[in-house]
A and B are shown apart, each in its own frame.
Chain A
Amino acid sequence: MPKYARKNRLGFGSRIPRQLFNKSGTIIAFFACTFFLCTFLISVLFNTGNGDIYGQFSKDAVYAVIEQDETKENALSYSDIAAKLSEFPNARGAVFLELFDISGYLLFDNDPKGGFSGVFRSVNTNTDEPQLILAPAYEPLCMSINGASYLNLNGKKYRVVGNNIYKGMSGAAFYGNFAGIKDSNTKFQGLSIIIDAGKETPRLLNALNSKMSDANISSKSLSYLKKDTEGIGMDKIFVSFAVFMIGAMLITSAKASTENWAETKMSEIKARRICGANDDNIRNFIFVRYFAVCITGIMLGAAMTALSVGFTPAVYYLGSINIFAGAASAAFLALFGGISAYRFAIKISRRQIVMLRRE
């Protein structure tokens, strides 16, 4: 078969872009916009769902309160606690820090890969630079130095790496890393700490207990606390309903756009039939073009999203943006559209030229 014939059969001739994208602007725009909007919608929903520190830990996690007479010579400092925690390679947790009018958590994670998700991923727990994410309400407390925003906590300067817009149950103002206190020799009077070392949590607690001869340590399961504060808010019901409806709408829109798009190709199909295209050629023609158009739309959406995510304030204000969320949504919709395209292709390919001419 001559080279040009094979090209024509699949519709990839010299006029590829014009032929391929003729009357496909709407469907391309639909997939691009869906990719873009779904990325942000799903990321914001995911970050909202994971916006609470309690939800970051396993069912073995405990909330411990350590009390001691800080004036005693053998009283523990923050660095002592940090040293003990570092002995457990899978230990994760958060120290509660309360200043006069602001409180929050300092996160630690001995696993170099990091186990925090959602908005907490913005805080690097494996760096020596003190950094935190701050609730927007407290932004006026910060000081801008050389273009970066800083907040002082417990005498240490923390760089603000993100704006935590997601209100968790704990209602904390900030979530920082451990870098600010792990070397601190300040002896504390009271310390509240979430400890999660999985199955090794009791052993870690025992190790802390043995180090603190004069301190009093009490703990309770974190899941017990979670139960106390959990509940389904009206906003969650509304959002779930809205998301369900938008999902249904997107699926129907994808189906309708695909069918409409395929119908715009009717005159081209007729022309191909007249020129001798068989059923397979027609099916391939619709199917290949549909996926080419889909992929173009998805790629356009991916580029738009990547540009937006690369634009620092988007991540700073929204937390982690998962571009795969958009990709998965668009692919899911493309699949639905693909089913419609397939059905349409089967229907059309069986029609003979006389019937097509009548339409």
Chain B
Amino acid sequence: MTEFIRLAFCEIKTQIKRYIILVFEMMAAFLVIGFLCSMLSGINMTNQTVNGAGIPADYYRAKSTAVYTDGGRAINGDERQALLIEFIADNFHTEGVTGYTTPLDHPILMATDGYFDIYGLRLEKGRAFNKDEYDSDNADMPIIMGYGFINDYDIGDTYMDKFTIVGFLSDEQYIPELSGRISKGFSVNYNIYTPIKSREWLKENGVSYPTDLIYSENKSELDAINQKAEELGLYAYNFLSADEAEQILINTTSTLNIPLVLITLLITAMSLLCLVQSMLEFVRKNIVELLIHMICGAKLSNIILRVGAGTVLTAFISAAAASLAFRSASTAAVLFITAAAVTVIAVLPIAISLKLKPPIVAVKEEK
């Protein structure tokens, strides 16, 4: 180790001007890398605060593309909208809820078969809907209430003389809004659910089929919906799955500056280029001296150590100086790892060139 440091200092002393420039240049690159690290630590924090909605990745939500300041007039529900919903229901598997129009403070929502599973809604007590209760037109309608009603009603009670309570949802459950900006979603504490009726019943009673989530193995298949919308003179939609919504949320809340990442990479590459070039020139210039070392018994590894000593010290001094500016253990660790990587990459061409062309051959060629 002492020998190594002595070598490094000896090397630096002989080419002090070159190494001062190298230290400054490496420091500049490390400062940019350190700055990047600070930003990346912010991204990790953001990642931890985002919870997955748990909705399968192949379910998509249609999102309006109307200009917000226009109030979305162009896609407000009309007959054409109903025709589009019919088209979606006929051609795609959908999940969701649709409003069952009753003059109540808490309207009853008709839920599709897979709704509770997809949104991961758990029951506090009671039972889930049976398979045969979906798509049936029975007059007796079971309901599951949100946790907000748990103190007012009980299992088996009748609600509005028409609905039988069969279960209650657990507290603090949300239906996530699949949007880039809204992550928390809507509470289901005051929702009341009943199984969806048959398509015919919905048509007769003017209730639209739920198309909250549209299933598609391939997102591009959903373009058929947009084509139909255009045909009907409606605005086309963008479609977003839960994973994509979460990705947008992560992306938009992160402070990652991509151009700075690129600039850092390019500057590091340039530093590396200068370092490698400078070392190759050094070997060429001092090839006779290196040969004498070898004649006197030095191994190739010793020669590489001799050539790389200055570089190692330069890289580590620069990394240490840049680390002081950030005062962060993780940033310092990244900088030192980068310094080590830079040294290895810089020494590699030297090792290869010495291996391919030993100093004795190089000197002979020179002569």
Using CB atoms and an 8 Å cutoff, list the residues of chain A in contact with chain B: 26, 29-30, 33-34, 37, 40-41, 44-45, 47-48, 51, 70, 97-103, 136-138, 140-145, 151-157, 165-167, 186-191, 234-235, 238-239, 241-246, 248-250, 252-253, 256-257, 260, 263-264, 267, 318
Contact = CB atoms under 8 A, between A and B. Distances in A.
Contacts of A153: 65
B65 A256 contact: no
Nearest to B277: A30
A48 B281 CA distance: 35
B124 interface: no
Interface stretch (B18-26, B203-211, B331-339): B18-26
A249 B21 CA distance: 7
B37 interface: no
B266 A41 contact: yes
23 contacts: A41-B266, A47-B259, A99-B64, A103-B68, A138-B248, A141-B63, A143-B219, A144-B219, A155-B234, A166-B259, A188-B67, A190-B69, A191-B69, A238-B31, A242-B28, A242-B267, A246-B28, A246-B271, A253-B273, A256-B18, A256-B281, A263-B285, A264-B284
A156 B236 contact: yes
B32 A242 contact: yes
A234 to B, nearest CB: 7
B69 A98 contact: yes
Nearest to A102: B180
A141 B248 contact: yes
B65 A152 contact: yes
Contacts of B65: 99, 152-155
B40 to A, nearest CB: 13
Interface in B293-322: none
B324 interface: no
B366 interface: yes
Interface string B101-132: 00000000000000000000000000000000
Contact of B270 (A37, A102, A260): A37
Contacts of A97: 67
Interface pairs A-B: 6 shortest CB-CB: A137-B251, A155-B235, A140-B244, A245-B28, A165-B258, A242-B28
Chain A contact residues: over half helix, strand or loop, or mixed? helix
Chain B interface secondary structure, helix, strand, loop or mixed?
A: helix
B285 A260 contact: yes
B296 to A, nearest CB: 24
Given A242-B28, A250-B274, 7 more contacts: A41-B263, A41-B267, A155-B74, A190-B69, A235-B35, A242-B267, A246-B29
B76 to A, nearest CB: 13
Chain B interface residue number, banded = 35 or more
Contacts of A260: 281, 284-285
B259 A48 contact: yes
B238 interface: yes
B11 to A, nearest CB: 16
A188 B70 contact: yes
Nearest to B237: A152
Nearest to B239: A143
Contact of A100 (B22, B35, B179, B270): B179
Nearest to B34: A238
Contacts of A256: 18, 278, 281
Contact of B271 (A26, A157, A190, A249): A249
A318 B24 CA distance: 28
A188 B69 contact: yes
A41 B266 CA distance: 6
A240 B31 CA distance: 11
A225 to B, nearest CB: 19
B67 A99 contact: yes
B277 A257 contact: yes
Interface string B162-180: 0000000000000000011
Contacts of B151: none
A263 B281 CA distance: 11
Nearest to B234: A155
B223 A143 contact: yes
B345 interface: no
Contact of B248 (A100, A137, A144, A156): A137
